[in-house]
Chain A
Amino acid sequence: MTDRGRIELRLRDPEFTLDVGFMLRSGITILFGPSGAGKSTLLDCIAGLRLLDEGRIEVSGVVFFEHASAINRSVQRRRVGYVFQELALFPHLSVEQNITYGIVSLPKNVRRERVDRIVEAMRISHLRRRRPAEISGGEARRVALARSLVTDPRILLLDEPLAGLDIPTRSKIVDDLRAWNELHRIPILYVTHQRDEVFALGERVLLMDQGRIVADGAPHEVMAAAQNLTAAQLGGFENVFEAVVQSMNPARGTMTCGLSGIEIETPLFHVEGGQRVQIGIRAGDVLVAAVEPVGLSARNILRGRIVNLAERDMIVAARVACGVEVEVHLTLAARDALDLTPGREVWLVVKTHSIHVAAKDRRG
């Protein structure tokens, strides 16, 4: 993946703020996040369909927008390929007329050659004379892709272009898109909120939440962080702590956080504008050892003392002080086997990926 420009933008709506910055690289970059995270808005901004408040957008050496010098290249002159979720094929034009729509200014022979090549690459030669209403959903996606790619775009923006297709159809289309991009090497931003697509497609994932990019990396790193989208989602956790990020280890997809004098290892989570995060641990995800454990794969082993034990239905809720107070759920049998009583010294064991990290709640 080579660098193909940089996006840096801010957009303020009454009820929504988009504030992102990232390098563009050739190849497929997935934009992943919940609905309302700002993924489609980001694509609209790059295409020039939304006006920005601040920032700079540079794609393959061409400045689309620069607040500082009042540059705002028109939508028409940005030459982006944009496949909308609704595809937006022109219903009154044939497949071929749809594809030539964006290249009418080219000489006729160039035009014909380009159309021939792209319908071949997208395997839709047999559909040329049909109307959009007369082709299948998968075919319509291929036509929409062809219509964008034929213009030789500087960047390709795909807004959930394959949503609703079955997996074999989807992967065939992606293979053809990849083959096309082997030759062109342009950046492709691919919006999805489907987890399986992220692993199937992405070389790189940008995780978005509430108008920000909260993680940027390879699918496996980012998707671990994606479990922990918002602090609000930590609501169901018995243990929620505020922590400070001390060091990051992107190569391993982990980082170290400090809280009340102890250090714990958590999944990697990119925080913008500060080092404070919230971490959540489920009481049932913590193991208790009566003696100091050795030779474990789990990275977090905390020494503490039992503060109290409370029987609830069929479990025992133990509160253990280990710098912070952690609630742990045990079975009645475990309590008896380990002979746990208040005041007793124990070790808590928590796997890195049992710890959920969230941005410190910006909504207060």
Chain B
Amino acid sequence: MDWQALWLTIRLATLVAGLLFVLGLPIAYWIAFSRWRWKFFVEAVVGLPIVLPPTVLGFYLLVALGPRSPLGRVWIALTGHTLAFTFPGLVIGSIIYSLPFAVQPFATAFAAVDSRLLAASAVLGSSRLRTFWRVVLPLSLPGLLTGVGLSFAHTAGEFGVVLMIGGNIPGVTRTVSIDIYDRVQSFDYASASETALALLVFSFIVLVLLYGLNRGWRTGGVRAMYGGR
């Protein structure tokens, strides 16, 4: 068991899930409530990582983060080294890769909030921002949890994108899934199976928690959730 890879994976997934929560809220809000007629273009762009092969996404990210791209040049000017094959590069890649797994559940939850509640809030004098904090967000908790859980689990299990933009640097970019691949390549099936099992159990637990909590919320859980009498 490569504890270093495991720790790196957890750090990466936590950071990405946290950042996606912050970034995903405004994007999801816009998708849920905008009446712009070309909105579906943005939705399609956000959804792309679901259908693109990770190697394709990884390839474009590698080019975008590399020393010849504007972003890559700015990064080099700021830090003195390239963004590709670094942990921050991996974080940026993972955010894009997991974006739909956070944004879509958020947007679905926001859109499901009864529009009359939003109207009531406005009539009672609340700005959109206050309505969002006081009404939309609390009533979207299950969707928020799903989005955060999915983006965490999805990042923890990614392989193609990491391999393309992060390579395989122990302690920097070698995640659990890369570690497994590496061990299989060197015929170390025993430790590959150990790590694979750990990842399997972990993913299963995350999903069980998610579905279990969501089910609880749906079936009279509102009272439990908001601490009724």
**B80 at the binding interface (Cβ < 8 Å):** no
Q: What separation, in Å, do the CA atoms of A77 and B125 have in the docked complex?
A: 6
Enumerate chain B residues within 8 angstroms of A84, measured Cβ to Cβ: 116, 119-120
Residues of chain B touching chain A, judged by Cβ–Cβ distance below 8 Å, are 114, 116-117, 119-127, 134-135, 138-139, 222-223, 226, 228-229
Question: Quick check: A79 and B229 within 8 Å, CB to CB?
Answer: no
Question: Quick check: A49 and B119 within 8 Å, CB to CB?
Answer: yes
Enumerate chain B residues within 8 angstroms of A148, measured Cβ to Cβ: 124
Question: Quick check: B123 and A101 within 8 Å, CB to CB?
Answer: no
Question: Quick check: B226 and A92 within 8 Å, CB to CB?
Answer: yes
Question: Quick check: B123 and A131 within 8 Å, CB to CB?
Answer: no
What's the nearest-Cβ distance from chain A to residue B219, in Å? 13
Q: What separation, in Å, do the CA atoms of A90 and B117 have in the docked complex?
A: 7
| Complex partner residue of A88 from B116, B125, B127, CB under 8 angstroms | B116
Question: Quick check: A147 and B223 within 8 Å, CB to CB?
Answer: no
| Complex partner residue of A47 from B123, B127, B134, B223, CB under 8 angstroms | B123
Count residues on chain A whose CB falls below 8 Å from chain B CBs: 27
Question: Quick check: B126 and A101 within 8 Å, CB to CB?
Answer: yes
Closest to B225 in A: A92
**A269 at the binding interface (Cβ < 8 Å):** no
What's the nearest-Cβ distance from chain A to residue B218, in Å? 14
Residues of chain A from 4 to 28 with CB closer than 8 A to chain B in the complex:
none
Closest to A47 in B: B123
Question: Quick check: A82 and B117 within 8 Å, CB to CB?
Answer: no
| Complex partner residue of A130 from B117, B125, B229, CB under 8 angstroms | B229
Enumerate chain B residues within 8 angstroms of A75, measured Cβ to Cβ: 119, 122-123
| Complex partner residue of A92 from B116, B124, B222, CB under 8 angstroms | B222
Question: Quick check: A134 and B114 within 8 Å, CB to CB?
Answer: no
Enumerate chain A residues within 8 angstroms of B138, measured Cβ to Cβ: 92
Mask: chain A, 146-158; 1 = CB below 8 Å from B; 0 = not: 0110010000000
With A84-B119, A86-B116, A88-B119: A102-B124 Cβ-Cβ less than 8 Å: yes
